[in-house]
Amino acid sequence: MNQCAIALWNKEEYNYPMAIDFVPNIVPYLQEDDSVHPCMLVVPGGGYCFVSPSEGEIVADRFRDKGYQTFVLTYTVNMLMNEPLKDQPLKDITRAVRLIRKNAEKWHIDPKRVYNSNYSESGNLCEDACIHFMEAAETNQEFEDISARPDAGILSYPVITSGEYAHQDSFRALLGSDIYERNDRESHDQLRHASLETQVSEQTPPCFLWHTATDGLVPPQNSFLFAQALQEKGILHALHIFSKGNHGLSVANSEWAHGRFGEPYCMEQNVNIAQAIREDRILMPKESKKAFLESFHEVPTKEDLQQNIPNPEVALWPELADAWIRSNW
Cα angle at 125 between 194 and 111, to 5 degrees? 130
Task: Describe the crossing of helices 121-132 and 168-175 by its angle, rounded to 10 degrees.
Answer: 60
44 domain-assigned:
yes
Whether the per-residue pLDDT at 2 is higher than 70: the answer is no
Whether the per-residue pLDDT at 114 is higher than 90: the answer is yes
Tell me the pLDDT band of 124, cut-offs 50, 70 and 90: confident
- Give me the mean pLDDT over the 117-133 stretch: 83
- Give me the mean pLDDT over the 20-32 stretch: 97
Average pLDDT of the chain is: 94
Higher-confidence residue of 175 and 122: namely 175
As a dihedral over the C-alpha atoms of residue 298, residue 80, residue 294, residue 44, rounded to 10 degrees, the angle is: -20
pLDDT at 258: 93
Instruction: For residue 128, give the amino acid letter.
Output: D
Per-residue pLDDT tens digits for 250-275: 999 999 999 999 999 999 999 999 99
pLDDT at 172: 97
Whether 44 contacts 122, CB under 8 Å: yes
Q: Structural domain tally of the chain?
A: 1
CA distance 118 to 157: 9
CATH code (residue 184) = 3.40.50.1820
Higher-confidence residue of 171 and 130: namely 171
DSSP code per residue over 56-80: THHHHHHHHHTT-EEEEEE----TT
CA distance 161 to 150: 21
Whether 154 contacts 39, CB under 8 Å: no
CA distance 124 to 244: 22
Task: Identify the domain containing residue 229 by its residue range.
Answer: 6-328
CA distance 146 to 98: 6
**Residue 310: exposed, middle, or buried by beta-carbon count in 10 A (0-12, 13-18, 19+)?**
middle
CA distance 101 to 39: 10
Whether the per-residue pLDDT at 100 is higher than 90: the answer is yes
Whether the per-residue pLDDT at 151 is higher than 90: the answer is yes
pLDDT at 288: 94
pLDDT at 126: 72
Q: Give phi and psi for 28, each to the nearest 5.
A: -85, 145
- Give me the mean pLDDT over the 188-212 stretch: 96
- Give me the mean pLDDT over the 219-241 stretch: 98
Tell me the pLDDT band of 133, cut-offs 50, 70 and 90: confident
As a dihedral over the C-alpha atoms of residue 295, residue 217, residue 84, residue 42, rounded to 10 degrees, the angle is: 90
Residue 295: other Cβ atoms inside 10 A:
7
Whether the per-residue pLDDT at 135 is higher than 80: the answer is no
Whether the per-residue pLDDT at 236 is higher than 90: the answer is yes
65 domain-assigned:
yes
Higher-confidence residue of 124 and 202: namely 202
What DSSP designation does 23 have? Answer: -
1 domain-assigned:
no
Whether 176 contacts 84, CB under 8 Å: yes
Whether 257 contacts 309, CB under 8 Å: yes
Say what the pTM is.
Answer: 0.96
% of the chain beyond a pLDDT of 70? 98
3-state percent helix, strand, coil for the chain, nearest multiple of 5: 40, 15, 45
77 domain-assigned:
yes
70 domain-assigned:
yes
